[in-house]
């Protein structure tokens, strides 16, 4: 049996207000062909199918068309879990219809753990899947009036661990053939590395668990949430597949991947990283105005012929006109999405930031909060609990 682990598709994502539908479409075509060419039997998608809880009709059409097209392939089972960007209602709405197509969907934590555990059989081989979605605080922990922040954090972490233990127990209950057991998850595991595109992930102390907190009964844990492919806690069996697309310029210096598992004789025989083609070229150049202009001819496209996207960081001591840079760039077939100063004044205020911003959509709530704290002289680094509390409120608002 062959299983493919992927996550964090973020269909509908826009980079600096530029649609990424072209590379997303190419990825869906590529992964479908990969599934065909490599006889993949089971597909696991560990959350964040969409970039927003209210996906566009275009994103929904891409998602459902892909699922329908897979039915003509060797892939006989698909398991999808919700992420923090996904709307549980949107994912769960067609779950009974998709179930008839051997597509299991768990948009949010269920009332009964058995509804998150599935036995998948392919040509006489079996695998047990503990499909744990993104676990929101309100879904698994009962709030008590007057709780301190430490109590809230401890109880959420305990509830998180208990949920995975319950999943493992249910897997063990139905695993009558000693089949391999795989858990899915969408969370921040301590030790993971984040990128700029994960602004919605707060790396503080609230509810984080590490590799040792997962039940050892799981033979593999297929994680989503972090966009860089990585192994957690030195344990090869606990992995983030990462996002298949470049979602920020901080992600251009490493390969995007999917992960395949080969099962044989009731064991996971191999775990392989597969590099995803780069469908669009991204470039980031830091230097003086003259150095950046000199580098412009090097920003070329690839065989997929999508317009390259460029970020320029000017290493200048003072604010200067960028007209010469823009005029020179017009001679080439790439698009500059962002120009900034490397030594930009760090104490820039909110009003100044707004004045220099093209669209209010470019401002992240986390950035505004940090700026306001800096203006007030409040040291966030010395008060991590305040940062955690802000992000917990932010997540609650976004999930409404």
CA–CA gap between residue 381 and residue 172 (Å, rounded): 43
Start-to-end CA distance of the chain, whole Å, equals 39
Sequence-separated (6 or more) residues with CB below 8 Å from residue 194: 188, 201, 203, 226, 227, 228
pTM over the 0.95 mark: no
**In a shared domain, residues 267 and 381:** no
CA–CA gap between residue 208 and residue 313 (Å, rounded): 34
Q: Is residue 260 a contact partner of residue 2, using CB atoms and an 8 Å limit?
A: yes
Number of CB atoms found within 10 A of residue 65's CB: 12
pLDDT for the residue numbered 374: 80
| DSSP H or E segment with residue 167 | helix 149-174
pLDDT for the residue numbered 155: 81
Q: Is residue 51 a contact partner of residue 10, using CB atoms and an 8 Å limit?
A: yes
Q: Of 241, 259, 275, which marks where a domain is finished?
A: 275
**In a shared domain, residues 337 and 361:** no
Q: Is residue 117 a contact partner of residue 181, using CB atoms and an 8 Å limit?
A: no
CA–CA gap between residue 373 and residue 63 (Å, rounded): 40
Residues of the chain with pLDDT under 50: 144-145, 199-205, 346-347, 358
**In a shared domain, residues 291 and 154:** no
Q: Model confidence over 7-53: pLDDT tens digits?
A: 999 999 999 999 999 999 999 999 999 999 999 999 999 999 999 99
Sequence-separated (6 or more) residues with CB below 8 Å from residue 74: 35, 36, 39, 40, 41
CA–CA gap between residue 353 and residue 371 (Å, rounded): 9
The CATH number of residue 182's host domain is 3.60.21.10
Helix (H, G, I), strand (E, B) or coil at 232: strand
Q: Of 249, 275, 301, which marks where a domain is finished?
A: 275
**In a shared domain, residues 292 and 360:** no
pLDDT for the residue numbered 190: 80
Helix (H, G, I), strand (E, B) or coil at 85: coil
φ, ψ at 231 (rounded to 5°):
-100, 140
Helix (H, G, I), strand (E, B) or coil at 388: helix
pLDDT for the residue numbered 201: 46
**In a shared domain, residues 330 and 197:** no
Our count of domains for the chain comes to: 3
**In a shared domain, residues 321 and 358:** no
**In a shared domain, residues 267 and 327:** no
**In a shared domain, residues 355 and 328:** no
Q: Of 298, 325, 344, which marks where a domain is finished?
A: 344
CA–CA gap between residue 185 and residue 371 (Å, rounded): 33
pLDDT for the residue numbered 192: 66
**In a shared domain, residues 183 and 60:** yes
Q: Model confidence over 66-101: pLDDT tens digits?
A: 999 999 999 999 999 999 999 999 999 999 999 999
φ, ψ at 348 (rounded to 5°):
-55, 130
Q: Is residue 14 a contact partner of residue 8, using CB atoms and an 8 Å limit?
A: no
**In a shared domain, residues 371 and 307:** no
**In a shared domain, residues 199 and 323:** no
**In a shared domain, residues 108 and 6:** yes
196 lies in which domain range?
2-275
């Amino acid at each position: 049996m062959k299983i493919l682990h992927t996550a964090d598709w973020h269909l509908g994502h826009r980079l600096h207000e530029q649609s990424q539908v072209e590379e997303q479409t190419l990825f869906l075509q590529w992964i479908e062909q990969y599934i065909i060419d490599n006889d993949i039997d089971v597909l696991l998608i560990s959350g964040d199918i969409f970039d927003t809880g209210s996906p566009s009709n275009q994103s929904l059409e891409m998602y459902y068309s892909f699922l329908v097209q897979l039915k003509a392939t060797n892939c006989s089972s698909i398991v999808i879990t919700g992420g923090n960007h996904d709307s549980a209602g949107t994912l769960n709405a067609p779950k009974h219809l998709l179930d008839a197509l051997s597509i299991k969907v768990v948009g949010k934590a269920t009332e009964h753990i058995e509804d998150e555990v599935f036995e998948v059989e392919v040509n006489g081989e079996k695998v047990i899947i503990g499909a744990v979605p993104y676990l929101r605080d309100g879904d698994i922990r009962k709030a008590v009036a007057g709780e301190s922040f430490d109590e809230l954090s401890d109880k959420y972490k305990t509830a998180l661990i208990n949920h995975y233990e319950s999943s493992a127990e249910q897997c063990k209950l139905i695993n009558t053939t000693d089949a391999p057991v795989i858990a899915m998850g969408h969370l921040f595991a301590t030790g993971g590395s984040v990128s700029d595109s994960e602004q919605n992930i707060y790396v503080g102390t609230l509810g984080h668990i590490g590799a040792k907190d997962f039940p050892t009964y799981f033979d593999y844990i297929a994680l989503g949430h972090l966009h860089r492919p990585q192994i957690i806690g030195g344990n090869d069996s606990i992995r983030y597949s990462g996002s298949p697309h470049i979602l920020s310029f901080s992600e251009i210096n490493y390969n995007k991947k999917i992960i395949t598992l080969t099962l044989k004789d009731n064991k996971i025989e191999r775990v392989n990283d597969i590099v995803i083609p780069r469908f669009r070229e991204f470039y980031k150049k830091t230097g003086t105005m003259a150095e950046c202009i000199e580098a412009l001819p090097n920003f070329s496209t690839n065989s997929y012929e999508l317009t390259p996207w460029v970020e320029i960081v000017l290493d200048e001591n003072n604010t200067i006109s960028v007209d010469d840079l823009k005029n020179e760039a017009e001679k080439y077939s790439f698009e500059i999405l962002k120009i900034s100063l490397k030594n930009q004044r760090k104490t820039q205020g909110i009003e100044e930031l707004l004045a220099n911003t093209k669209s209010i959509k470019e401002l992240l709530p986390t950035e505004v909060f940090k700026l306001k704290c800096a203006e007030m002289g409040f040291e966030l680094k010395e008060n991590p609990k305040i940062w955690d509390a802000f992000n917990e409120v932010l997540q609650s608002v976004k999930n409404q």
